[in-house]
Amino acid sequence: MCGIAGYISFKGETDYGEALQRAIARLRQRGPDNQASVRLSAKTGFAHARLSIIDTSSAANQPMHDSSGRYTIIFNGEIFNYRELRQKFLPDVVLQTTSDTEVLLQLFMRMGKGCLQYLNGFFAFAIYDAHTGQTFLARDRYGIKPLHLYRDAEKMFFASELKALLEFPVQREIEWNVLPVFLQLNYVPPTLSMLKGIRKLPPGSYALCDETGQYTTGKYYEIPYTPGSKPDAGGMSFEEAKQKLHDLLDEAVKRRLVSDVPLGAFLSGGFDSSIVSACAARHTPHLHTFSIGFRDEPYFDETYYANLVAKKIGSEHTVFSIANEEIFACIDDILNYIDEPFADPSSIAVYVLSRQTRRRVTVALSGDGGDELFAGYNKHRAELQARENSALNFLIRAGYPVLRLLPGSRHSALGNRLRQLLRYSEGLRLSAKDRYWRWCSFQSQEQVLRLLSDKVKYDEAAIDAARDELTRYISPNGTLNDVLYSDMHLVLPGDMLTKVDLMSMANSLEVRVPMLDYTVVNFAFSLPVHYKRDGSDGKRILKEAFRDELPPELFTRRKMGFEVPILKWFRKELLPWLEREVFDEQWIEEQGIFSVIAMRDLREQLFSTQPGDVQWILLSLLSFQRWYRNYYLSGV
């Protein structure tokens, strides 16, 4: 795992070498083992920060050149099948290292963009061709590894993180139509950016840019699924499909065990991490697994189940029992590291787990992706029920005015049930597309716009258009597979993968996600909905495929997200953060983005008996305000 950065000056009149040095310094946590840069021509420069995983020798440092000096690569990620690719396509090539980087470079030299279809891994890389002056950029199929881009008439910059990109002379202008979208979702969708002119290279895409400014893009991968279709698993029975899924996932985990440094696995006690850990334990003697326990918050502590799984699979399990004070001490580091507004509260837990795990290993496996592939979220159950023309749905829809008055909250079993019931009632009143968007969001567009000052010049029609584009795969006559397909394009790269990448890289830890092996994803989207979810039973085929390998207690427990009691903390220990950065009326007035009255109302709601989802709204505001100070004001 590494960080990359580079520039192309189309006019060749400006030397961005110093900016490149600053950019790669900002990526040091992604690559603490070596940082280097190279000026490839009068117009192009590359830089790389390395976290050594495969072939830890200095010979595998980057930027890496081929023997002729024509090609140069900088590469963030891992190619898990690089040994097989070397044997199949490069049997006569004498390599100078045992790294996957050199194999990737040689494959590109032989196949060009055609090599992408053979890569099984996660990556963002750039390759420069000195003969043509072209730079080739590519990103993995699902957006596991990030790649930010800025391009205008004179130059192009790229980097693994936005904070590195902003070390270049990038004009900083907030995209006001994106702010309301962020405040709804608590993350910036993968196709958008909070700053004008900056975008991410889309998952499964490549780009080619030469030193005159000619720029083209293309797709090399799409999930093999057509929205509105009804796949039938190729005629396989449930039992046959279950066995195939078991074998595919087992092989995906096995592929991700290649490493020249210590490797372990996250084990939360949920199904996905338990399945990944069980597969890894089958192929790794003395597998190390890790989980965190919230010493002061028993409602959110899942270590009981993690311990059961560890005992069953025979892993060497470590529980990091964390007190609240230890978590609070990390909050500033988390907020400061996030370089684009991002407010998933589980990022706190992922950060703490990554920090502790990094003290023992350099690579960890995780179970991310299972919910999006196999309909594991509560919203997936709700969507199936919402499409039924039932008397119960009629009653819940009619009961919306009463449900609005009940005290819903995520921080108790009863409060969480009331909260879910209210959101379900809201969804029943909406179209399929609007319902999907509402269930992805923490507040409605109307609520969000009331938070903003009259000085903010947004275009409501443009916001609506962005929402329509992000929900384009949802149709009234579609199936739950359309929802999962949308999740793979919106929720997974925008929220889940961003969270894991940022929080793990902040601690110089590589996290690998076997559920997102493309063979598993492709197969998952060949399955009919009832193989994945049957009424209240989410991830049906995934659970059944590994039922005999997991403790029976997992199959009767309630689903828990990887969450923290943020409402409780905002009311007490973290209140000073809010008072300083969200509720300070003088600051709000001077800034001119948010409504002072709306901030007062939120403070009152925070301490009311009906807080609703106020903690998520406040977390999004806190994240935005810290980003605004750190990454926007600092450069204007």
Q: What confidence tens digit (pLDDT) does each residue in 233-264 have?
A: 999 999 999 999 999 999 999 999 999 999 99
Residues β-bridged to residue 342: 187
Q: Which of 2, 209, 279, 440 is catalytic?
A: 2
Of the candidates 281, 302, 362, the residue with the CA atom closest to the CA atom of residue 550: 281
pLDDT, tens only, 258-284 = 999 999 999 998 999 999 999 999 999
Which residues are CB-contacts of 470 (< 8 A; sequence separation ≥ 6)? 189, 191, 437, 486, 490
CA distance linking residue 366 with residue 500, whole number of Å: 9
Report long-range pairs for 486-493 (Cβ below 8 Å, ≥24 apart): 486/436, 487/372, 488/142, 488/223, 488/372, 488/373, 488/521, 489/190, 490/189, 490/190, 490/440, 491/372, 491/440, 492/142, 492/143, 492/369, 492/372, 493/142, 493/143, 493/190, 493/203
Backbone angles phi, psi at 395, to 5 degrees: -65, -40
Beta-bridge mates of residue 291: 319
| pLDDT beneath 70: ranges in the chain | 1, 399-419, 559-563, 635-636
- What is the average pLDDT score of the chain? 93
Contact call for residues 237 and 31 (beta carbons, < 8 A): no
- Which residues is 50 bridged to in the sheet? 2, 34
Distance CA 102, CA 122 (A): 16
Q: How far apart are CA 199 and CA 340, in angstroms?
A: 12
What is the dihedral angle through the alpha carbons of 618, 622, 624, 628, rounded to the nearest 10 degrees? 150
Closest CA to 448 of 604, 625, 606, 594: 594
Question: Could you give the CA distance from residue 100 to residue 77 in angstroms, rounded to a whole number?
Answer: 9
Q: Summarize pLDDT for 567-625 with one digit per residue, the tens.
A: 999 999 999 999 999 999 999 999 999 999 999 999 999 999 888 889 999 999 999 99
Closest CA to 188 of 140, 139, 148: 148
pLDDT on residue 26 = 97
Sign of CA dihedral 555, 556, 561, 565: negative
pLDDT tens sequence across 110-159 = 999 999 999 999 999 999 999 999 999 999 999 999 999 999 999 999 99
Is 115 considered catalytic here?
no
Q: How far is CA 330 from CA 100, 324, 335, 374, 413, in A?
A: 34, 10, 9, 33, 27
Q: Which domains does the chain have, with CATH numbers?
A: 2-174+199-219 (3.60.20.10), 237-372+487-555 (3.40.50.620)
